Amino acid sequence: MSVATSLVTAAEFAQMPDPGHPQELVRGVVVNMLPPRFRHGKVCGRITTLLTVYADQHQLGHVLGNDSGVVTEHKPDTVRGADVFLVSYAKVPANADPDYLTIAPDAVFEVRSPSDRWRDVLAKVAEYLHLGVPAVYVLDPDTSRIHCYFQDQPEEILNATDELVGIGLLSGFRVPVAKFFE
């Protein structure tokens, strides 16, 4: 005997009470996640600081972190909790406050946790790229590397001695890779 379960929409997911731990909506199913560890939070904080300073200096747009929701798929809906992302004021005006971002951010930064499987990380990257995100950066604190993914280009891996050079809205954003992992 099977039990039928209904799929949750992004709108319904936004109205659910806070469970006290991270969750994502993956193809209509609520998925519980482990709370990030200290190192993960520290790297996310560095990304947010570096990106916010640059975005504010150039009045580029919103920098969001803390697993803010990005709708990456519809019917069934998927809402991913991006570690950090940038979306321009042209896409989301400065005074706007949507529940979730329903369009492609201009850049997404994900931090790989020790419990993350690369298969799952790459699935998330593929969703962001399919949505139209121009650049997805996966930072791996274990190796101090940044895996860079762009539309229709091969993966680029940056080591601690390299420099991350932004594209698109982040053209001119240049940061030594090691700075993200300090």
The CATH number covering residue 60 comes to: 3.90.1570.10
Q: Count structural domains, the chain.
A: 1
Identify the domain containing residue 74 by its residue range.
Answer: 10-180
Residue 5 has pLDDT above 90, yes or no: no
Q: Is residue 97 part of a domain?
A: yes
Q: Is residue 166 part of a domain?
A: yes
Q: What is the pLDDT of residues 109-138, one digit of tens each?
A: 999 998 899 999 999 999 999 999 999 999
Q: Is residue 4 part of a domain?
A: no
Q: Is residue 1 part of a domain?
A: no
What is the arithmetic mean of pLDDT over 83-89?
97
Residue 101 DSSP one-character state: B
DSSP per-residue letters across 54-96: HHHHTT-EEEEEEEEEEEEETTTTEEEEEEEEEEETTTS-TT-
Q: What pLDDT is recorded for position 141?
A: 96
Q: Is residue 152 part of a domain?
A: yes
Q: What pLDDT is recorded for position 35?
A: 86
pLDDT averaged over every residue in the chain:
94
Q: Is residue 129 part of a domain?
A: yes
Number of other CB atoms surrounding residue 161 within 10 Å:
9
Q: Regarding predicted confidence, which is higher, 141 or 36?
A: 141
Q: Is residue 2 part of a domain?
A: no
Q: Is residue 5 part of a domain?
A: no
What is the arithmetic mean of pLDDT over 152-178?
96
Side chain identity, residue 21: H
